[in-house]
Amino acid sequence: GAVVSQHPSWVICKSGTSVKIECRSLDFQATTMFWYRQFPKQSLMLMATSNEGSKATYEQGVEKDKFLINHASLTLSTLTVTSAHPEDSSFYICSASPPYILGTESEQYFGPGTRLTVT
């Protein structure tokens, strides 16, 4: 149980174009989803927290107009990188939190990641 998928797993796009990444919780409803960015051989940096039906909360330094997040349902959140540039190339990972049950505090289930390359 608790499987999170991401699509696509990798994408190459040209500079100036936009790309959308989907994150789905396959067997549970996720009221909260998170988007992370990971540079090569570095840790995960939280970009934003996404709650179903409300606006995402972005971390300091993350451009909300560049990284558009939509959490349209309890099983789907999308990240759109608008007007992508080579410096946006990275590994993007989403995670989802299941409904609270005692013992699952702060638990997040991670997707397999999406590698974005902007040429």
Partner 1 sequence: AQSVTQLDSQVPVFEEAPVELRCNYSSSVSVYLFWYVQYPNQGLQLLLKYLSGSTLVKGINGFEAEFNKSQTSFHLRKPSVHISDTAEYFCAASIQGAQKLVFGQGTRLTINP
Residue numbers at the binding site for partner 1 (CB under 8 A): 4, 6, 32, 34, 41-46, 49, 91, 93, 95, 97, 103, 105-113, 115
Element holding 7 (H helix, E strand): strand 4-7
Closest to partner 1 by CB, 44 vs 82, is: 44
Nearest distance from residue 63's CB to partner 1, in Å?
A: 19
Closest to partner 1 by CB, 4 vs 69, is: 4
Nearest distance from residue 26's CB to partner 1, in Å?
A: 13
Nearest distance from residue 51's CB to partner 1, in Å?
A: 10
Q: Is the dihedral of CA 57, 63, 47, 11 positive or negative?
A: positive
Tokens of 92: 């993007």
Closest to partner 1 by CB, 11 vs 82, is: 11
Nearest distance from residue 72's CB to partner 1, in Å?
A: 20
What are the distances in angstroms from CA 6 to CA 36, 47, 77, 102?
Answer: 13, 16, 10, 27
- Residue labelled with tokens 């999170």: 4
